[in-house]
Structure 1
Amino acid sequence: MKLAVVGGGSTYTPELIDGFARLRDTLPIEELVLVDPAADRLELVSGLARRIFAKQDHAGKITTTTDIDAGVADADAVLLQLRVGGQAARNQDETWPLECGCVGQETTGAGGLAKALRTVPVVLDIAERVRRTNPDAWIIDFTNPVGIVTRALLQAGHKAVGLCNVAIGFQRKFARLLEVEPGQVHLDHVGLNHLSWELGVRLGGPDGENVLPKLLAEHGDAIADDLHMPRKLVDRLGVVPSYYLRYFYAHDEVVKELGTKPSRAAEVAAMEKELLEMYGDPALDEKPELLAKRGGAFYSEAAVDLAASLLGDGGSPVQVVNTYNNGTLPFLADDAVIEVPARVGRDGAVPLAVPALDPLYAGLIANVTAYEDLALEAALRGGRDRVFKALLAHPLIGQFDYAEGLTDRLIAHNREHLAWA
């Protein structure tokens, strides 16, 4: 089995490598290709990757290339984890929206749209290269904004599934609180990427006992603290929202906070510099503890599980993924991309039936899906007016003056990445 990781020079790649090494019985990789245009980073990351494989007695071969076509050739699956523009572009996404009084964040609001506009054309070009060299390969997208990027891939006819670590993070957290194995915890996880709620936490499988009320009663303070939300909000909802919902439920408070501290991108850039120095140490043969602060916890486990299910029979039968709606949420079009539990196998992902949604959640999902429709149109076709309409439609913006100002700033800060600008 051969896998390719596009964006393999990421400082986060050793987390993925560690998962491949530990879970080699689930996903028996013979060759892993790390693909990245940054040859210097590739050398540091791949050196540590080989040492991790060697320490854990993994027989797989790790190779590197800056050539996408060569890297994806003959791959059974291609994982996308790229960041167009790097941390510098992310830093802009997180700062210029604040000038208009809006949240600055890399996956939602104006910053999320900027990232989508930069990313979708690049991802589609990579996917076309995969299709030309190996049309049977699965594409697993971990590149944000996952929902929009996955929809672009599916709409273009690619074999693609989107992946996020939010659900597996909740699963692991709830398993610890319940003192059970993670595999015993099934989530009624419903929504869009970075806009989701845990409507139930079931033991033993999709039809198991819902222990979410017990979790909230016994561990509500800890859960609310992790979300950075008030306990009274979580109690009134009676569900566990993704921490990304804080941008919606406490928008003004978050804007004030973001204006008083360095951007997350600045923090990550400093962390990446330190990590790369660590990776250059020939004595290091495991992922460093600092990497846990980089974000993306449990991504490796989720990626292994998904790839194993798509390529064979090794993964979990039900996983939370991003895929076509196909009637799962009746108020959305079939070709909307949602994030829900699905049965995953060689033929792809088929969403399970989900509980009926309260209008409180359905309304926001419908609103953000409409924004994503417009965002994808802007990413595919370009144009200032399409950017403006997408911004105006976003529930975190929604005002003419904000949308006008944000449109000008978005284009000014991303002109080098926008072929039409």
Structure 2
Amino acid sequence: MKIAVVGGGSTYTPELIDGFARLAPFASEIVLLDPHAERLAVVGAFARRLLAHHGSGATLRWTSDVDDALRGAATVVIQLRVGGQRARISDETFPLACDCVGQETTGAGGFAKALRTVPVVLDIARRADPGAWIVNFTNPVGIVTRALLDDGHRAAGLCNMAISFQRRGAAALGVEPSALILDHVGLNHLTWERAAYVDGVDHLPELIDKGLDDMASGLQLPAELIASLRCVPSSYLRYFYRHDQVVAEQRGRSTRGERVSQVEEQLLRMYADPSLDQKPALLGERGGAFYSEAAVGLIASLRHDDGGIHAVNVRNRGYFPFLSDDAVIEATCRVGAAGAVPLPAPALRPELAGLVAGVSAYEELAVDAALHGGRDRVYRALLAHPLVGQHDKADRLTNELLSANRDHLAWLS
């Protein structure tokens, strides 16, 4: 089985390759695709040493030729970042001028990333072999995945929020991760863990009661909020539940993008060492814990039709009755060769459903703006976003966003 990794020059790629080497015997050929040839050569050579270290029989090569990389690939993994860390830093900065959170996956910054990303991802997907599965890691995952599905591709979006909670919860309960089934629901980066089943018994109340203070500290949310919700929100819910506090904190410190840029420089120096054949500890600071395991598990279920349980971004199709069928949600799914189908789950409570409905409406408008351009489409999407929602802010943010991204939006030229 040939797997193409789009954005293969990322410093995160060795984490993904390590997972393929350990857990994916079905991977016979891996091709890394990236336009940055010098960086790709460094990452590619290290990735090849990782495969050898684990005794993998897969071959690995790298290229900047899109059609060469995609030709014959049964699975295309997309993890690209249009504009690099410089664009990310912009996403994390310009919204602050309007007293809005600066973040690369949600709010105005996440929208800017979507506008840059969707056209590029669609161009790549259209050049893949018909029938190839597109496994999308690229943020904002929900918006990008919806664009792919709307364009007719076999696509599934993937995030590491659920698998990270599953691993921590399983360790706390003393069970294997595969024994813990989550009721993971919402939209990408807007999810809640509502139950944690082992042999049909929900252990989430126990996990919350015993680990409430640690959960609150890790999520940077008040313990009383989690106790009141009686479910565990994604860490990204902090941008909604404590928006003003986050904005105040962001004004007084460097951006995440700036910190990641420094880590990437160090990682690339390490990767260039020909004696290095294992993941350096520093890679853990790059983010994306357990992504490789999530990716391999999902790809294996799509290939082997094993009915595995995975948290996936898929079409709504009635799962949330208050959303359109075409909306893309994130939920615990059973996955086979035909794709992912959400497991049955109770209705969302109003305090969760209202937020999901608002953000989903924004995401629909965001896809439209990314596909068709136009200042008015950008403005209307920002006005709809719960983190913006006011005319003056939406109007000014539209100007700031377009100014900051002029080099990446072809319809502005």
Name the TM-score class by shorter chain.
over 0.9
Q: Tell me, in whole angstroms, the C-alpha distance in 2 between the residues paired with 1:321 and 1:35.
A: 24
Equivalent of residue 192 in structure 2, options 193, 197, 205:
197
| 2:313 match | 322
Q: Tell me, in whole angstroms, the C-alpha distance in 1 between the residues paired with 2:345 and 2:117.
A: 30
Equivalent of residue 168 in structure 2, options 158, 164, 173:
173
| 1:20 match | 20
Q: Give the root-mean-square deviation of aligned CA atoms.
A: 0.8
The alpha-carbon deviation at position 351 of structure 1 amounts to 1.5
Alignment gaps of 5+ in structure 1 = none
| 1:150 match | 145
Paired AA for residue 204 in structure 2: L
| 1:360 match | 351
Whether contact under 8 Å (1:342, 1:351) holds in the other structure is yes
**TM-score, normalisation: structure 1:** 0.97
Residue 120 in structure 1 maps to residue 118 in structure 2: yes
Equivalent of residue 344 in structure 1, options 335, 341, 346:
335
Q: Tell me, in whole angstroms, the C-alpha distance in 2 between the residues paired with 1:69 and 1:414.
A: 27
| 1:185 match | 180
The alpha-carbon deviation at position 403 of structure 1 amounts to 0.5
Q: Tell me, in whole angstroms, the C-alpha distance in 1 between the residues paired with 2:24 and 2:371.
A: 38
Alignment gaps of 5+ in structure 2 = none
Whether contact under 8 Å (1:84, 1:119) holds in the other structure is yes
Paired AA for residue 107 in structure 2: G
Q: Give aligned pairs, total.
A: 412
The alpha-carbon deviation at position 316 of structure 1 amounts to 5.9
The correspondence of residues 211-360 of structure 1 with structure 2, limited to 5 A, is 211-313=203-305, 317-360=308-351
| 1:7 match | 7
The alpha-carbon deviation at position 223 of structure 1 amounts to 1.1
The alpha-carbon deviation at position 118 of structure 1 amounts to 0.2
Q: Tell me, in whole angstroms, the C-alpha distance in 2 between the residues paired with 1:3 and 1:346.
A: 16
Q: Tell me, in whole angstroms, the C-alpha distance in 2 between the residues paired with 1:260 and 1:317.
A: 44
Q: Tell me, in whole angstroms, the C-alpha distance in 2 between the residues paired with 1:325 and 1:353.
A: 12
Q: Tell me, in whole angstroms, the C-alpha distance in 2 between the residues paired with 1:100 and 1:331.
A: 31
The alpha-carbon deviation at position 244 of structure 1 amounts to 0.3
Residue deviations 1:355-378, cap 9 Å, x none? 111000000000000000111110
Whether contact under 8 Å (2:24, 2:300) holds in the other structure is no
Q: Tell me, in whole angstroms, the C-alpha distance in 2 between the residues paired with 1:352 and 1:335.
A: 18
> Could you say what secondary structure the match of 1:63 adopts?
strand
Whether contact under 8 Å (1:328, 1:352) holds in the other structure is no
> Could you say what secondary structure the match of 2:410 adopts?
coil
Residue deviations 1:60-101, cap 9 Å, x none? 100111011110100010000000000000000000100110
**TM-score, normalisation: structure 2:** 0.99
Whether contact under 8 Å (2:9, 2:32) holds in the other structure is yes
Q: Tell me, in whole angstroms, the C-alpha distance in 1 between the residues paired with 2:379 and 2:213.
A: 40
The alpha-carbon deviation at position 24 of structure 1 amounts to 2.9
Whether contact under 8 Å (1:305, 1:316) holds in the other structure is no
